[in-house]
């Protein structure tokens, strides 16, 4: 029951679909935006824990290409929360050793947020300790369409898997070993479809604002109990 995490077998890259903010708020009779606010607190908590545990890359699905369908109030409320988080932690980000990067078409975000994201990603681009990758106005299908368009523009005809990989936002990142989606839904919803070919998937029932270090450790232990074969056969121990 109290099995420890095997530090030699940590996932290098964890992807997180932060679901359940709205349900968390509804349960408390709060407006949805309060759920997102609690979601930012969870993101801060989990990022710190992941870094402390020795995870190298963490990717968060913060805003999808489909999320524009939500009310204006909610959409711009989420952008305001992200802007506030970046402003409040700006010094820590630019003086620390974490690389902050984004994936998705951030040019469509409000100007102030877009410019701050460009600034923070530029100032942290050479950091090596840890990577926080934020998916914003991101959809995996658009990412693939963009990749194929880029390859076509380069005149590529015989396209290899590596050619595609190199055109994705995640070109310089390892594929996610583990993808966590909170709140019980068992689907990827257009998140890293190409990159997740061999990811282990984990769907805890807990809503994202309640996710913490204990939950993260539980997810890692579950990951470590899986038999990752990458298409190979099980290697028997002698
Ligand atoms: C999904 O829950 C959550 C979102 C669409 C937004 C998540 C965004 C944040 C937590 C802000 C990220 C912050 C930074 C700094 C990157 P939902 O609203 O779909 O929940 P529901 O399914 O219960 O309604």
Which phi and psi (to 5°) does residue 10 adopt? -80, 145
Residue having the nearest C-alpha atom to atom 18 of ligand 1:
22
Query: 1 in a domain, yes or no?
Result: no
> Which residue matches tokens 């903010």?
21
Indicate the DSSP class of residue 171: T
- Residue whose C-alpha is closest to residue 150's, from 127, 166, 132, 133: 166
Give 77-143 as a DSSP string.
HHHHHHHHHHHHTHHHHHHSSEEEEEES-GGGS-HHHHHHHHHHHHHTTT--SEEEEEEEEE-HHHH
Per the prediction, the chain carries an average pLDDT of 96
CA 14, 193, 21 angle in degrees (round to 5)?
60
Q: Name the residue range of residue 109's domain.
A: 13-223
pLDDT band at 236 (very low <50, low <70, confident <90, very high): low
Query: 3 in a domain, yes or no?
Result: no
Residue 104's Cα: distance from chain center in Å?
12
Q: Which residues on neighbouring strands pair with residue 63, listed in sequence order?
A: 136
Query: 6 in a domain, yes or no?
Result: no
Q: Sign of torsion, CA 15 17 21 24?
A: negative
Query: 151 in a domain, yes or no?
Result: yes
pLDDT above 60 for 237: no
Neighbours of 62 (CB within 10 A): 23
Nearest-atom number in ligand 1 for the CA of 23 is 23
Query: 143 in a domain, yes or no?
Result: yes
CA dist., res. 167 & res. 151, Å (int): 8
Distance 74 CA to ligand 1 centre (A): 10
Distance 52 CA to ligand 1 centre (A): 24
Indicate the DSSP class of residue 70: S
* Tally of structural domains, the chain: 1
Active site residue 19: yes
Query: 18 in a domain, yes or no?
Result: yes
Query: 232 in a domain, yes or no?
Result: no
Catalytic residue among 6, 9, 21, 67: 67
CA dist., res. 69 & res. 75, Å (int): 8
Active site residue 238: no
Pocket of ligand 1 (CB under 6 A): 18-23, 36, 39-40, 43, 60, 62, 67, 78, 81-82, 85, 134
47-102 pLDDT, tens digit each: 999 999 999 999 999 999 999 999 999 999 999 999 999 999 999 999 999 999 99
CATH code for the domain in which residue 79 is found: 3.40.1180.10
Distances (CA, A) of 78 to 38, 66, 73, 211, 212: 11, 14, 9, 19, 21
Query: 228 in a domain, yes or no?
Result: no
Mean of the pLDDT values across residues 143-169? 98
């Amino acid at each position: 029951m109290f099995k420890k995490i095997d530090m030699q077998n940590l996932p290098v890259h964890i992807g997180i679909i932060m679901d359940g903010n709205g349900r968390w708020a509804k349960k408390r009779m709060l407006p949805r935006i309060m759920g997102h606010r609690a979601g930012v607190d969870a993101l801060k908590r989990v990022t710190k824990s992941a870094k402390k545990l020795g995870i190298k890359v963490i990717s968060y699905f913060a805003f999808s290409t489909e999320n524009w369908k939500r009310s204006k109030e909610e959409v711009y409320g989420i952008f305001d929360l992200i802007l506030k988080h970046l402003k409040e932690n700006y010094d820590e980000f630019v003086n620390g050793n974490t690389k902050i990067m984004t994936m998705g078409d951030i040019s469509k975000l409000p100007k102030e947020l877009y410019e701050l994201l460009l600034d923070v990603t530029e100032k942290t681009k050479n950091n090596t300790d840890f990577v926080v990758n934020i998916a914003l106005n991101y959809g995996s299908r658009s990412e693939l369409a963009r990749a194929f368009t880029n390859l076509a523009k380069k005149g590529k005809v015989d396209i290899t898997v590596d050619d595609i990989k190199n055109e994705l936002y995640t070109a310089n990142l390892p594929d996610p070993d583990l993808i966590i989606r909170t709140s019980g839904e068992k689907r990827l919803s257009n998140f890293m479809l190409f990159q997740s070919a061999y990811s282990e998937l984990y769907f805890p029932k807990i809503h994202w604002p309640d996710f913490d270090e204990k939950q993260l450790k539980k997810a890692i232990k579950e990951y470590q109990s899986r038999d990752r074969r990458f298409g190979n056969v099980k290697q028997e121990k002698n």
